[in-house]
C-alpha cells in the first residue's frame, strides 16, 4: 500500500520471500531502496535466523552504491541500551536489555554499515515500545528502521506512531528524512 507521492516515485519491487520485500523509489536526488522485513521469532531455530540474515545481506549487496538503503520491520530482537562496541551502529537511546537475537542484529548492522535510527533520538519511555503482548502488560522494542551510515545525518527523527490501529500488536514506525541538493553534491564529490 503506497501513498500518492510514493506511487509516483515507484520504480519496482521484488518479493524475495515471505520475510523480505524490496521496493525501489525515485528520489529527488538519489533513489531509495526500502526493504521490509519480518525476522523469525524466538520459536525458530538459530539456523532460520542465519538464513534470514544471509538473504537480507544478499539483497543489500545488489543495491547500487549511493542509493539510500532503508531496512524497516519486525526484527524480533531486543538490542537494549548498551552500545559499547556498537557506537557507530546505535545511539544512546536504546531500551532494556539485549537478547541473543539483538546481538545478531547489531553484528549484521555493523557489518553492513547500517545505523539503527530509532536509537539516536530521545523519546519518553512509552514511545520507545513498538510491540505490546496480547496481555497488555508486557511491552518491547522489536521493530526498527535501519539506514545506511552515509545517510544517517539526513534522518531528522524516527518515532513510534501510537494509536494507529491496523489490527496488530505492533505500532507504526515513522522515519523523517531530509535530503538536500548540497548533501548530494558533497556526497557525489560534485562542487
Q: Which of 186, 76, 57 is nearest to 141 (CA)?
A: 76
State residue 180's pLDDT score: 58
Give every CB contact of residue 77 below 8 A, 6+ residues apart in sequence: 39, 99, 101, 102, 104, 105, 142
State residue 34's pLDDT score: 94
DSSP for 59-95, please give it. Answer: HHHTSPTTSEEEEEEE-----BS--TT-TTTB-S--B
C-alpha cell recorded at residue 95: 531500551
CATH number where 149 lies: 3.60.10.10
State residue 112's pLDDT score: 96
Taking only the tens of pLDDT, the chain with its 191 residues reads: 677 877 888 899 999 999 999 999 988 778 999 999 999 998 999 999 999 999 999 999 999 888 999 999 999 999 999 999 999 999 999 888 999 999 999 999 999 999 999 899 888 877 787 887 788 888 888 899 999 998 888 888 887 777 666 667 777 777 787 765 554 444 433 32
Domain count, the chain: 1
State residue 186's pLDDT score: 44
Give the range of the structural domain holding residue 132, as residue numbers without chain letter. Answer: 4-188
End-to-end Cα distance, the chain: 38
Amino acid at each position: 500500500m503506497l501513498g500518492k507521492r510514493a506511487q509516483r516515485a515507484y520504480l519496482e519491487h521484488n518479493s524475495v520471500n515471505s520475510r523480505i520485500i524490496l521496493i525501489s523509489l525515485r528520489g529527488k536526488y538519489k533513489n531509495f531502496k526500502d526493504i521490509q522485513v519480518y525476522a523469525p521469532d524466538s520459536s525458530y531455530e538459530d539456523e532460520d535466523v542465519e538464513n534470514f540474515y544471509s538473504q537480507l545481506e544478499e539483497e543489500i549487496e545488489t543495491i547500487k552504491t549511493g542509493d539510500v538503503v532503508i531496512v524497516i520491520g519486525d526484527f524480533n530482537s531486543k538490542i537494549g541500551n548498551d552500545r559499547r562496541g556498537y557506537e557507530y551502529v546505535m545511539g544512546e537511546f536504546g531500551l532494556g536489555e539485549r537478547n541473543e537475537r539483538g546481538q545478531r542484529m547489531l553484528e549484521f548492522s555493523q557489518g553492513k554499515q547500517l545505523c539503527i535510527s530509532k536509537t539516536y533520538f530521545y523519546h519518553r519511555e512509552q514511545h520507545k515500545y513498538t510491540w505490546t503482548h496480547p496481555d497488555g502488560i508486557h511491552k518491547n522494542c522489536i521493530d526498527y528502521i535501519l539506514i545506511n551510515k552515509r545517510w544517517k545525518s539526513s534522518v531528522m527523527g524516527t518515532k513510534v506512531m501510537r494509536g494507529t490501529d491496523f489490527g496488530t500488536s505492533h505500532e507504526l514506525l515513522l522515519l523523517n528524512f531530509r535530503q538536500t541538493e548540497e548533501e548530494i553534491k558533497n556526497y557525489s564529490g560534485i562542487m
